[in-house]
Amino acid sequence: MQILGCKLDPIDADAATAAIFGFVREKAGAQIVTLGTEMVVYAQNDRRFRDVVNACALSLCDTVGLLTVARKRGATLTQRVTGVELIEHLCARAAAEGASVYLFGAAEGVAAEAAAALQARYPGLRVAGTRSGFFRPDESAAIADAIRASGADLLFVGLGSPRQEFWLAEHLKTAGAGAGIGVGGSFDVIAGRVERAPEAWRKLNLEWLYRLVKEPKRWRRQLALPRFVWLIASERRAENSKGSVS
Ligand code: UDP
């Protein structure tokens, strides 16, 4: 489906994992986006970003705002698919099938710590490599070459949005992985550098509030939510008035 001009595939983590392993088998070089509400808002004013999202092989529903709209439009998905959850599902299957993963992003050492935590959790998981996400633009080609040389099947890129989506759109083919997935700040969470909201807050869909309390500087980004609600309401008004004319 399309939400405010952005592609969304409202499927759960199990279905996404199955589809992504299909891409790995085909060595498709498929880009996957974990779409968030603020990304959809950002896409309204950046056509190039919207085109990148719409060209992705899969666009997964990462936030409650998008989930709510998707369900109103008929999707049966009941839970969002976060980057952390997707990484866990994919690593469980990668360990079972012998596929290898590459973690690219976050501050120095964090991707390696996240990889170690994943290997502890999924014994036998093959980590093809890790690299921090702070680099000069002219280093991108060498980074993509190094990923190709590592032979990684799955590439997780955690540079934050929109940087990770643009990086994958430009360099995934060179990097050579069967699938490249933008995962935001997931490595920080998996490495235990950032705690997720307690279960009770998550059940109440209040993870955003917990993060706001913990990291008040995020308030500016969270302004995207009221803007998203307003944009969706405007879209509906426009559709209703079209319906009443015809
Ligand atoms: N980051 C990076 N390179 C940069 C800027 C950010 O690797 O040049 C990392 C940062 O360390 C963090 C992630 O990108 O791990 C962004 O996390 P955030 O929670 O802001 O992103 P979101 O998940 O909300 O897109």
In ligand 1, the atom with minimum distance to the C-alpha of 161 is 25
Q: Indicate if the pLDDT at residue 246 is higher than 60.
A: no
- 130 pLDDT band (50/70/90 cuts)? very high
- 245 pLDDT band (50/70/90 cuts)? low
Cα separation of 226 and 205, whole Å?
Answer: 16
Ligand 1 atom 8 nearest Cα: 134
- 208 pLDDT band (50/70/90 cuts)? confident
Ligand 1 atom 10 nearest Cα: 106
Q: Indicate if the pLDDT at residue 75 is higher than 60.
A: yes
Domain around 165: 2-242
pLDDT, one tens digit per residue, over 145-177 is 999 999 999 999 999 999 999 999 999 999 999
Ligand 1 atom 6 nearest Cα: 159
CA of 133 to the centre of ligand 1 (A): 8
CA of 72 to the centre of ligand 1 (A): 31
221 versus 38: the higher-pLDDT residue is 38
Mean pLDDT across the chain, nearest whole number?
95
Predicted model pTM: 0.93
Could you give the number of structural domains in the chain? Answer: 1
CA of 134 to the centre of ligand 1 (A): 10
216 versus 23: the higher-pLDDT residue is 23
pLDDT at res. 242: 79
161 CB near ligand 1 (under 6 Å): yes
pLDDT at res. 220: 77
Q: Indicate if the pLDDT at residue 107 is higher than 80.
A: yes
Cα separation of 22 and 30, whole Å?
Answer: 10
230 CB near ligand 1 (under 6 Å): no
CA of 75 to the centre of ligand 1 (A): 29
Which residues are bridge partners to 130 per DSSP?
103
107 CB near ligand 1 (under 6 Å): yes
Q: Indicate if the pLDDT at residue 89 is higher than 90.
A: yes
Q: What is the CATH number of the domain that holds 14?
A: 3.40.50.10700
CA of 167 to the centre of ligand 1 (A): 13
129 CB near ligand 1 (under 6 Å): no
133 CB near ligand 1 (under 6 Å): yes
Are residues 178 and 23 in contact, defined by beta-carbon separation less than 8 angstroms?
yes
What is the CB-side half-sphere exposure of residue 98 using CA atoms within 13 A? 0
Q: Quote the tokens at residue 190.
A: 């998996």
pLDDT at res. 151: 98
Are residues 164 and 137 in contact, defined by beta-carbon separation less than 8 angstroms?
no
CA of 242 to the centre of ligand 1 (A): 41
Average pLDDT of the segment spanning 101-108: 98
Residues of the chain above pLDDT 70, percent: 99
- Ligand 1 pocket: which of 188, 190, 217 to mutate (most atoms within 8 A of CB): 188
